[in-house]
């Protein structure tokens, strides 16, 4: 069934909004997935601030051009679903690859990240990068580690001063120290 011009414009605008809020996306072929499968995948992606959208390829290409993204025409053939990342592309890639392991009907075609078209192998490599939350915790650890060391040094120095004062008091008596 043909879709109206208005609906096409709505879809291009929707894709444009998704592209404006993403730092990358994964392209898949979803042939054979059930509605339940797609719903399950969407739920998993929402947990990492991702979205899975079944696209109209020609309209998606128009939105990509309008938004200034590279157009991976070779990936946009057949029934295509796109997983958009809202700031955490490695986490979205990781969810997609985990889902691919349990559902062979979903086929990874590639993706786009930071203005570059990436192959399925590159998407897999990206999925092995730390997620945004993992990077934040690593950064916090790096910031806290020197502070912890400084506190230890200061505590050690304070303890040494106290030890010296205690030794002086023992040696010279409490009354003489004042």
Question: Would strands 80-85 and 24-29 be described as parallel, antiparallel, or unpaired?
Answer: antiparallel
- Do 93 and 164 belong together in one domain? no
CB atoms within 10 A of CB 126: 20
pLDDT for res 146: 67
**Helix or strand (DSSP H, E) at 110:** strand 107-113
Q: What's the CATH code of the domain at 107?
A: 3.30.70.1730
The span from the CA of 159 to the CA of 178, in Å, is: 21
pLDDT for res 97: 94
Could you identify the residue written with the tokens 């010296």? 164
pTM assigned to the model? 0.72
Supply 139's token pair: 């950064």
- Do 59 and 100 belong together in one domain? yes
CB atoms within 10 A of CB 104: 8
* Cβ within 8 Å of residue 12, ≥6 positions away: 59, 62, 63, 66
- Do 54 and 17 belong together in one domain? yes
- Do 173 and 112 belong together in one domain? no
pLDDT for res 139: 73
- Do 37 and 116 belong together in one domain? yes
- Do 35 and 105 belong together in one domain? yes
pLDDT for res 128: 84
pLDDT for res 169: 75
Count of structural domains within the chain: 2
Range of the structural domain that residue 155 is part of:
134-177
For each of the chain's 178 residues, which pLDDT tens digit applies? 688 999 999 999 999 999 999 999 999 999 889 999 999 999 999 999 999 999 999 999 999 999 999 999 999 999 999 999 998 889 999 999 999 999 988 999 999 998 899 999 999 998 887 766 776 777 777 676 666 665 676 676 666 766 776 777 777 776 554 4
């Amino acid at each position: 069934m043909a879709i109206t011009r208005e609906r096409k414009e709505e879809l291009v605008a929707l894709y444009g909004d998704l592209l404006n809020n993403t730092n990358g996306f994964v392209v898949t072929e979803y042939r054979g997935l059930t509605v339940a499968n797609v719903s399950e995948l969407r739920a998993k992606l929402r947990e990492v601030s991702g979205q899975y959208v079944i696209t109209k390829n020609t309209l998606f290409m128009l939105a990509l051009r309008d938004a200034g993204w590279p157009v991976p025409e070779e990936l946009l053939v057949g029934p295509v679903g796109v997983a958009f990342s809202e700031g955490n592309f490695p986490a979205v890639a990781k969810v997609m690859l985990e889902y691919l392991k349990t559902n062979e009907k979903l086929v990874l075609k590639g993706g786009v990240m930071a203005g570059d078209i990436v192959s399925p192998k590159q998407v897999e490599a990206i999925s092995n990068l730390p997620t945004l939350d993992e990077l934040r915790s690593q950064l916090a650890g790096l910031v806290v580690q020197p502070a912890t060391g400084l506190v230890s040094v200061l505590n050690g120095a304070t303890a040494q001063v106290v030890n010296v004062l205690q030794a002086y008091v023992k040696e010279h008596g409490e009354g003489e120290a004042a």
